[in-house]
Amino acid sequence: MVQQTTPPPDRIQAPGEPETVIRVRDLKVAFGDKVIMDGLDLDVLRGEILGFVGGSGQGKSVLTRTILGLVRKRRGTIEVFGEDVDDLNLQQRRVLERRFGVMFQQGALFSALTVKQNIQVPMREYLHLSPDLLDELAMVKLDLVGLPRDAADKAPSELSGGMIKRAALARALALDPEIVFLDEPTSGLDPIGAAEFDDLIMTLKQTLGLTVFMVTHDLDSLYHACDRIAALADKKVIAVGTLATMLASDHPWLKAYFGGERAMARLPAGEQGQSS
Ligand SMILES: Nc1ncnc2c1ncn2[C@@H]1O[C@H](COP(=O)(O)OP(=O)(O)OP(=O)(O)O)[C@@H](O)[C@H]1O
């Protein structure tokens, strides 16, 4: 007989409520005796763009790498698609990895490979396809991110900053992931290029149903592209919610971040009255 177990109250999903695709609880990460996170909780919901903010060196990239299994945690649980990652064997882990796409800071393309070959790196690792099919798939990914097809045979050094970001995104999308992790995707882009990149992410979210975990310092991205924002300070996620939630927070770091002159100047008109 199959034993029925009742999920704990915080796991029961009300009808119509978005699924939690990443669920982090009581996470502790440290390097030696330097504690980076302690008691961190975070939910990422299916189909959302979650903007992740925090001061420099607070651990945003480390959290991403911990969720990806690249940094070992000291304590806590990380569940992805409802599975505790600690319970997965090597094969299950590889299956899970295929559902992730990752775009590291500065694109991190292999400089000795062409754009097409870069996009094909994850495909070669996980799929067994003919060279022709690999080429066709790479072209589909180029189209998807709005790169011209003649970019395929170029070296990363021949691309503009904006094109490098798009190529890196194409590689992150190589395996048709369900969740993409973007580490400061618009850094180094001019405001027009950054806005175009945000539009691309929003379009991909709509058309592919992607869930996006985006570490960013870009206020415009936070205001215009993100469905929710999570803020990291004091080794924890101190607030999570819409921009209005951030603006209403009394936490000193959030007040300084979102209430500062630069942030206020960029605030969408509808939110202007939210912060004092
Ligand atoms: N492998 C490592 N070994 C030791 N310390 C590390 C390691 N990786 C990161 N750290 C430290 O962890 C802290 C958090 O780093 P992290 O790169 O996550 O910050 P961040 O919030 O992403 O910063 P930024 O916004 O500047 O990119 C830093 O103090 C960093 O020096």
pLDDT at site 276: 46
User: Does 54 contact ligand 1 (Cβ within 6 A)?
Assistant: yes
Q: Which token pair is 152?
A: 């395929």
pLDDT at site 193: 86
Q: What is the distance in A from the centroid of ligand 1 to the CA of 223? A: 25
Q: Whose CA is nearest to atom 5 of ligand 1?
A: 31
For the cut 80, the answer to whether the pLDDT of residue 113 exceeds it is: yes
Cα→Cα distances 100→65, 68, 93, 115, 205, Å: 12, 8, 11, 20, 14
Q: Whose CA is nearest to atom 8 of ligand 1?
A: 62
User: Does 31 contact ligand 1 (Cβ within 6 A)?
Assistant: yes
Q: Ligand 1 pocket test: pick from 52, 53, 60, 214 the residue with the most ligand atoms within 8 Å of its Cβ.
A: 60
Q: What is the distance in A from the centroid of ligand 1 to the CA of 57? A: 5
Residue type, 138: A
Instruction: Report the nearest atom of ligand 1 relative to the CA of 31.
Output: 4
Q: Which token pair is 120?
A: 């094909």
pTM: predicted TM-score of the whole model, two decimal places: 0.88
Pick the range with the lowest mean pLDDT from 24-28, 106-110, 214-218, 268-272. 268-272
For the cut 80, the answer to whether the pLDDT of residue 4 exceeds it is: no
pLDDT at site 203: 93
| % the chain with pLDDT above 70 | 88
pLDDT at site 247: 87
User: Does 212 contact ligand 1 (Cβ within 6 A)?
Assistant: no
Cα→Cα distances 128→90, 121, 269, Å: 19, 12, 51
For the cut 50, the answer to whether the pLDDT of residue 73 exceeds it is: yes
Q: What is the distance in A from the centroid of ligand 1 to the CA of 180? A: 20
pLDDT at site 7: 57
Mean pLDDT on 248-254: 90
Q: What is the pLDDT of residues 130-179, one digit of tens each?
A: 999 999 999 999 999 999 999 999 999 999 888 999 999 999 999 999 99
pLDDT at site 2: 45
Mean pLDDT on 101-106: 84
Mean pLDDT on 60-82: 94
ipTM over 0.95: yes
pLDDT at site 160: 87
Q: Confidence class of residue 10 from pLDDT cuts 50, 70 and 90?
A: low
User: Does 37 contact ligand 1 (Cβ within 6 A)?
Assistant: no
Q: Options 3.40.50.300, 2.40.160.10, 3.40.50.2300, 3.40.50.720; which CATH number does 47-97+178-266 get?
A: 3.40.50.300
Q: Confidence class of residue 13 from pLDDT cuts 50, 70 and 90?
A: low
Question: Where exactly are the structural domains of the chain?
Answer: 47-97+178-266, 112-177
DSSP 6: P
Name the nearest CA neighbour of 104 among 89, 124, 82, 121.
121
Q: What is the distance in A from the centroid of ligand 1 to the CA of 31? A: 10
User: Does 216 contact ligand 1 (Cβ within 6 A)?
Assistant: no
Q: Ligand 1 pocket test: pick from 33, 58, 67, 216 the residue with the most ligand atoms within 8 Å of its Cβ.
A: 58
Name the nearest CA neighbour of 98 among 178, 170, 23, 165.
178
